[in-house]
Structure 1
Amino acid sequence: MPPTAPCRRWWRPRREAEAMAQPVRALLVDDDPVLLALLSAFLDSRGYAVAQAPDGQAALALLEGGGFNLVITDRNMPRMDGLALCRAIRARQDASYVYCIMLTASVDQQSLVDAMEAGVDDFLAKPLRPAELGARLRAAERVLALEARLAARNEELTGAYAQLSRDLDLARSLQLAQLPAPQSFGGVHLEGLFEASSFVGGDLYDYFALGDRLLAFYLADISGHGVAAAMMAVSAQHQLRAVSQQVVRAIDPGAGLQQAAVEIVTRYNSRFLEMNDSSLYLTLVYGLLDRATGTAALVSAGHPPVLHAAAGSPVFEPVGQGSLPVGILPDPGYEARLVTLAPGSRLALYSDGITDCSGADGEPFGLQRLQDLLAAGRSQSPAAGFAAVREALHGWHHGSFEDDVTLLLLESR
């Protein structure tokens, strides 16, 4: 009589109503061929795909082919026992979870602890009982079904994350493309450094000519990080350019740089409040330079003060003090400070992502270190100075920056 005949009298085959969406591929591991035949027939009646191995080493060879999600193994076997097999399974990097059930005649506490530490999920005591075997398999099916759903969800999330990463990479490229390239306007040279703390950042700088004499330049820092701040930065760039053009065309030429600079920042603040219904705001330092006289008017809206190094001096001194950020009050009362830029002088506009950058012990990089770096690079090109600042910051703070790092240098030549 075939070995499966007694099995048909041993139990009545059942098909579970809650069958898994994908079939179970079971690997039976035991050195007893009769028990393997009994288990194979039982699992086959439930729609499982079944393979057999006489010991742990043979089972591992079959597992190399992949696809198994259930292993039922005896504890005591030649060459490799069930505990060693389960430990080897848990050490593998399988694409999906493998549920392990151990057959054992030892049900003492230490044996169960050893099995669980080896990675066993469930136990079947010998001799086997059909009702208990069916219950154990139903529990395995629920776990494997849940794991399959989680794997499918993870695959969807992985795909969504990959698409998001591609979109953010594109957004980063577009944001960097919006920043102006190093440029000279007659005897004035401007160049910037920008390094975002994430894919996209909330800092920006810009500079552009306003007619034949005036030159506008600024550095802004949007509150927060990520996509929302980056979108606000793009809007700020367009709005500041538009407002600057409107004010310069409309204002009385004899009114002076200070009034024009204050009017530009004040109008932009009003537009920001009208158009922005979120909690975002920004700090801004805005400069308006008369290239004919070398005089610049600087307005600081909640931003760190501009650093100025006079011609022939390596020392960078702060100019003025900040007021309220843009987007807080409708009439913040901005003021402008004048500074004369003789040939050989420099201005440095920076974001607090530099000075607040924390070291391993939490100490901020600080203004003095930035001033020292700028002073050391006084005779170098702006590009060399940026390289020194970047190197110092990465040496100070290992890993990604917590905030965007932005620096703009203006040099009168």
Structure 2
Amino acid sequence: MLPETSDHADAGQARALLRRVLVVDDSPLQLKILSSMLRRRGFEVWQARSGEEALEICAAQQPDAVLSDWMMPGMDGLDFCRRFRALPRETYGYFILLTSKSEKGEIARGLDAGADDFLTKPIHAEELHARINAGARILLMERRLSETLGRLRDAYDAIDRDLRQARTIQQALVPRRSRRFGDTQVSLLLKPCGHVGGDLVGSFAQCEREVGVYSIDVSGHGITSALMTARVAGYLGGDFPDQNVALERMMHGTVLRPPEEVARRLNERLAADPGVAEYLTMAYATLRLDSGRVDLVQAGHPPPLLLRADGTQEFIGAGGLPIGLVPEAGYERLRFGMRPGDRLLLYSDGLTEAMRPDGAMLEQEGLLRLALACRDATGTEFLDDLFWRLTRETRAGTELEDDVSAALIEYGGA
């Protein structure tokens, strides 16, 4: 059936995949000639004298290949081919149109109908078997492709399960979305654009007088960035003070280091790692609960938004170097005060760089407008409303183009 090849195993597999052939022709003589040619080569042959009869056989038997005349009364070869392709099948069926047509336009019509190959009348035995052999090879490739896709699907499912578990672990890095420190409240929002992301927000306090809040964005996306956020979370976790680079143990207890010192220590650790290309931006603020004094470091992160209780607003900061990008980088402290009722929003660029349907970024002006629209809400309700308005206004919808995160400080006074 198949010509000799260097790979006899492939030839044997191809022969096994194309054994049953349906011949469709309204001419009894042509039907007999074609069937005889195929049977002499060992094929199992079924016959049909119309498209309607052929469809009944295909629905019941599922032949491996079909040879159908183009010009037939009633349902012609094109209509039969279209309806053959619409039948449910477990495997692919190879379809050859028998025709006296040779014009390119007619051939294109046949291909559009779903035909795989063509044979021009009168049919020669050697050409017929060559076309059948080609079909067998295609069926073999289709079978191998299906098997490969099955293995890839299994691998994807395994990776997807691992990533879902990784997402659960990453979400555990933000165990509580809202914490109260006296009359002051800190609320958090974390929305990865994939299973896992490179954003991180959090807060901690080791005394009743001061609280630290941070917003971090690791360069890139996906697993590598997520691993970096997990590592940084260990440097800033409040559950293990001895490992937190923002905390310093003193004679009278544990205090918060100045934000610029925290940025410098993080930079030393990340910049010293060989082979690590990722870096991060960070906005880290410490708030004195008794006075409302805020010390802030902005390391390449978007400037925090200060929403005053009197209705005024301003963005704090003008940039700074990212962390882990330049060894021995220096960082500056910004200091300002908050009064009862004031809010400070730390956020990642997933908010300001979200794209509108017209292709323009939301930017700071758009963020301010969304934040003012949420001013009647507080805590996590404010952040959830902000995120909802973001997805409504931009083209992100439910598919984020970048991780979105934010930390909201609502100062309640001493």
Q: Secondary structure, in 3 states, of the residue corresponding to 2:247? A: helix
1:256-282 deviations in Å (ceiling 9; x for gaps): 97x622222211111112236222111
Establish whether residue 122 from structure 1 lines up as the match of residue 117 from structure 2: yes
In the TM superposition, what are the counterparts of 1:134-283 in structure 2 within 5 Å?
134-181=129-176, 182-241=178-237, 245-246=244-245, 248-250=247-249, 260-275=258-273, 277-283=275-281
Which residue number corresponds to residue 19 of structure 1? 12
Equivalent position to 1:53, from 45, 48, 56? 48
Q: Provide the secondary structure at the position in 1 that maps to 2:172.
A: helix
Residue 318 of structure 1: how far off its partner (Å): 1.5
Aligned partners of 2:190 and 2:404 also within 8 Å? yes
Pick which of 112-121 and 386-395 moved more.
112-121
Q: Is the 8 A contact 1:323 1:332 kept in 2?
A: no
The alignment yields a C-alpha RMSD, in angstroms, of 2.9
Counterparts of 2:276 and 2:39 in 1: how far apart (Å)?
61
Q: Which moved more, 1:29-38 or 1:261-270?
A: 29-38
Corresponding residue for residue 317 of structure 2: 320
Instruction: Give the CA deviation at 1:106.
Output: 4.4
Does the C-alpha gap of structure 1 residues 111 and 346 become closer, same or farther in structure 2, counting only changes over 3 Å?
A: closer
Q: Structure 2 length normalisation: TM-score?
A: 0.86
Are 1:78 and 2:76 counterparts?
Answer: no
- Whether the 8 Å CA contact 2:299–2:323 is kept in 1: the answer is yes
> 2:360 and 2:175 mapped to 1: Cα distance?
33
Please tell me whether the aligned partners of residues 374 and 386 of structure 2 are also in contact (alpha carbons under 8 angstroms): no
Cα displacement (A) at 1:154: 1.8
- Change beyond 3 A, Cα 1:126–1:377: closer
Match of 2:335 in 1: 338
Q: 1:66 to 1:54 in 2, by over 3 A?
A: same
Matches of 2:88 and 2:299, distance apart in 1: 55
Q: Which amino acid aligns with 1:210?
A: Q
Instruction: Give the structure 1 partner of residue 366 of structure 2.
Output: 369
- 1:204 and 1:174 map into 2 onto residues whose CA distance is 13
CA positional deviation for 1:132: 1.5
Higher relative contact order (CA 8 A, sep 6+): 2
- How far apart in 1 are the matches of 2:103 and 2:231? 70
CA distance in 2, matches of 1:130, 1:180: 74
1:210 and 1:47 map into 2 onto residues whose CA distance is 84
Q: Counterpart of 1:386?
A: 383
Contact persistence 2:259–2:284 (CA under 8 A): yes
Partner of 1:295: 293
2:159 counterpart SS class: helix
Going from structure 1 to structure 2, the CA distance change for 1:376 and 1:42 (only over 3 Å counts) comes to: same
**Counterpart code for 1:178:** L
1:359 to 342, 356, 360: 356
CA deviation after TM superposition for structure 1 residue 38, in Å? 4.6
What secondary structure is seen at the aligned counterpart in 1 of 2:228?
helix
Give deviations 1:266-307, integer Å, cap 9, x for gaps: 111111122362221110011122323332211111011122
Count of residue correspondences: 399
Give, in angstroms, the shift of residue 165 of structure 1.
2.3
Given that 2:264 and 2:331 are in contact with CA atoms closer than 8 Å, whether structure 1 keeps it comes out as: yes
Gaps of 5+ in 1: 1-12
In structure 1, C-alpha distance between the alignment counterparts of 2:283 and 2:61, rounded to whole Å: 61
When residues 45 and 397 of structure 1 are mapped into structure 2, their CA distance, relative to the original with a 3 A threshold, is farther
Q: Indicate conservation of the 8 Å contact 1:14/1:46, yes or no.
A: no
Deviation sequence 1:27-65 (CA, Å, 0-9, x none): 222234554455445445545444333221222233335
Taking every aligned residue pair, what percent have the same amino acid on both sides?
35
For 2:251 and 2:328, how far apart are their aligned partners in 1?
Answer: 22
Greater mean alpha carbon deviation, residues 229-238 or residues 381-390: 381-390
Q: Contact 1:251 / 1:260 at 8 angstroms: preserved in 2?
A: no
Deviation at 1:170, TM superposition (A): 2.2
Secondary structure of the residue aligned to 2:153 is helix
Question: Under a length normalisation based on structure 1, what TM-score does the superposition of the two structures give?
Answer: 0.86
Task: Point out where structure 2 has 5 or more consecutive residues left out of the alignment.
Answer: none
CA gap 1:356/1:95 in 2 versus in 1, 3 angstroms: farther
Residue 205 of structure 2 aligns to a residue whose secondary structure is strand
Change (3 A) 1:105 1:379: closer
